[in-house]
A and B are shown apart, each in its own frame.
Chain A
Amino acid sequence: MSSRDLVLGRIREALSAPDTQPSSVPDTRASSAPGLSRSAAVDIPRDYRRGPAPVDLDLLVERLVDYKAVVHRGSDISVIAREIIGDGTLVVPPGLPPEWMPAEQTRVDHGLSAAEIAAADGVLTAAAVAIAETGTIVLDASPDQGRRILSLLPDLHICVLRPEQVVASVPEAVARLDPARPLTWISGPSATSDIELNRVEGVHGPRNLHVILQEAA
Chain B
Amino acid sequence: MSTFLGMPAHAPRGVGNLRGDEPFPAAARTALANQQLRRNLQHATTTIRGKSGRVIAEVPDWQELRSAGSALKTYTMANLPRLLEQLEEKVTAAGGVVHWAADAEEANRIVTGLIRETGEQRVIKIKSMATQEIGLNEALEAAGIEPVETDLAELIVQLGHDKPSHILVPAIHRNRAEIREIFLREMPGVDPDLTDNPPELAAAARRYLRETFLSTKVAVSGANFGIAETGTLAVVESEGNGRMCLTLPDTLITVMGIEKVVPAWQDLEVFLQLLPRASTGERMNPYTSMWTGVTPGDGPQNFHLVLLDNGRTAVLADEVGRSALHCIRCSACLNVCPVYERTGGHAYGSVYPGPIGAVLSPQLTGVEDNASLPYASSLCGACFDACPVKIDIPSILVHLRNQAPHPRTEKAAMAAAAYTMDRPRLYQRAQRAFKLAKLVGRRGKGLPPPLNGWAASRDLPAPPEESFRDWWRGR
Contact = CB atoms under 8 A, between A and B. Distances in A.
Interface string A172-214: 0111000111111111111111111111111111100000000
B150 interface: yes
Contacts of B283: 63, 67, 133-135, 187
Interface in B25-65: 40, 43-45, 47-48, 51, 60-61, 64-65
A197 B214 contact: no
Given A15-B316, A205-B243, A193 B169 contact: yes
A36 B80 CA distance: 12
B446 interface: no
Contact of A179 (B51, B85, B230, B284): B230
A168 to B, nearest CB: 12
Chain B interface size band reads: 35 or more
Interface string B254-295: 000010000111101110110000001011111111111001
Interface stretch (A1-9, A76-84, A96-104, A158-166): A1-9
Contacts of B64: 45, 47-48
A42 interface: yes
Contact of A3 (B79, B106, B230): B106
Contact of A1 (B2, B9, B156, B286): B2
A118 interface: yes
A203 B243 CA distance: 12
A179 B5 contact: no
The main secondary structure of chain B at its interface with chain A is: helix
B209 A204 contact: yes
Interface residues of A, number: 85
Contacts of A118: 214
Contacts of B213: 204
A6 B102 contact: yes
A216 B413 CA distance: 80
Contacts of A202: 199, 202-203, 206
Nearest to B294: A182
A196 B263 contact: no
Contacts of B298: 141, 147-149, 182
B323 interface: no
Interface in A98-157: 114-115, 118, 131, 133-136, 141, 147-149, 152
A152 B240 contact: yes
Contacts of A201: 199
B241 interface: yes
Nearest to B67: A45
A148 B247 contact: yes
B6 A6 contact: yes
Interface of A: 1-4, 6-15, 17, 19-20, 22, 29-33, 35-36, 38-40, 42-50, 63, 67, 114-115, 118, 131, 133-136, 141, 147-149, 152, 170-171, 173-175, 179-206
Interface of B: 2, 5-9, 40, 43-45, 47-48, 51, 60-61, 64-65, 67-68, 71-72, 74-75, 77-82, 84-86, 94, 99-102, 106, 150-153, 156, 168-169, 171-172, 175-176, 179, 198-199, 201-203, 205-206, 209-210, 213-214, 227-230, 232, 238-241, 243-244, 246-248, 258, 263-266, 268-270, 272-273, 280, 282-292, 295, 297-299, 307, 309, 313-314, 316-317, 319, 322
